[in-house]
Amino acid sequence: MTPTPPTSSASATDDDLLRLAIEVAREAGAFVVDARRSGVEVADRKSSPVDVVTQVDRDSEALIRARLAEARPLDGFFGEEGGRGASESGLTWVVDPIDGTVNFLYGIPHYAISIAVVEGEPDPQSWEAVAGVVLNPVTGELFTARRGGGARMNDRPIAIADAVPLSETLIGTGFAYSAQTRAEQGAAIAQLLPLVRDLRRMGTASLDLCAVAAGRANAYFERTLSPWDHAAGALIAREAGAVVKGLGDRRPDREFVLAAHPETVGELEQLLVDVGA
């Protein structure tokens, strides 16, 4: 791959940044799929015995960080596997080098390289997302967006599904790595399930947000996510017409991420609060 020449934030357009994110996501995706074929083992456990990281996660993040630094040495970096670098350009890359690590570990072909570039501090409560890429390297489905530019999958425009009553809503969700939190989430799900069409627990937050963007689900919610889980997928879902928010007036955060149609997001949020989701 011919590395993109270094640029400053002043010269790079949003489209330049998006192109770089796509280029790097594709290279990391090819690396990850190839590494999977060689076999994958758990390298460490993080917040709980089931919150695992593989060496491929770490190597993917190192590759992504190196390529971005080659092209844009003044930008900041905020990665899941510990990569942190302060920004001198005002831009920071927010990266999940393998989102859906458990799916990757088990060989379930539903995981993603998630790369977003944001303006301002790397804080979801204040940053402005500039461009985002979510690539499923197994299926080749490449979800992309830049601010104000709409959302695309494999370069074709995508949009959220039409609004439907909550009782006909297909909702993506996920669960925490903490056993106690999962018990609470399971109790909430038991109340929610009879009130909606159905649930989908696919295991990869970034792809769950892209499913809403592509109309493959009506909504998605999850608690305990990290900024790198939703940074790119939230921009893609918003650009596809969804509201993506936290609780009340908050932006998406560790406490809550909800993506839904503008006409139903308020009613759904209240239902989720009522059942303790």
| Site of interaction with ligand LIP (CB under 6 A) | 80, 96, 99-101, 174-175, 177, 203-205, 222, 229
Nearest distance, CB of residue 173 and ligand LIP, angstroms: 8
Query: Any idea what the Cα angle at residue 58 is, between residues 120 and 224, rounded to 5°?
Result: 60
β-strand partners of 143? 134, 153
Strands (E), the chain: 42-45, 52-54, 76-79, 84-85, 91-99, 112-119, 128-136, 141-146, 151-153, 156-158, 170-173, 198-200, 219-222, 243-245, 257-260
Provide, rounded to whole angstroms, the least separation between the CB of residue 148 and ligand LIP.
Answer: 26
Q: Supply the minimum distance, in Å, between the C-beta of residue 106 and ligand LIP.
A: 12
Is the Cβ of residue 71 or residue 217 nearer to ligand LIP in the bound state?
217
Nearer to ligand LIP, 71 or 258 (CB): 258
Query: How far apart are the C-alpha atoms of 256 and 133, rounded to whole Å?
Result: 22
**Min separation Cβ 71 and ligand LIP, Å:** 24
Nearer to ligand LIP by C-beta: 119 or 184?
Answer: 184
By beta-carbon proximity to ligand LIP, the closer residue of 169 and 204 is 204
Provide CB contacts within 8 A for 130, sequence distance 6+: 14, 17, 91, 116, 117, 118, 119, 146, 147
For 204, the 3-state DSSP assignment is coil
| Least CB distance to ligand LIP at residue 11 (A) | 32
Considering beta carbons, is residue 124 or 203 the nearer one to ligand LIP? 203
Which residue number is nearest to ligand LIP in terms of Cβ? 174
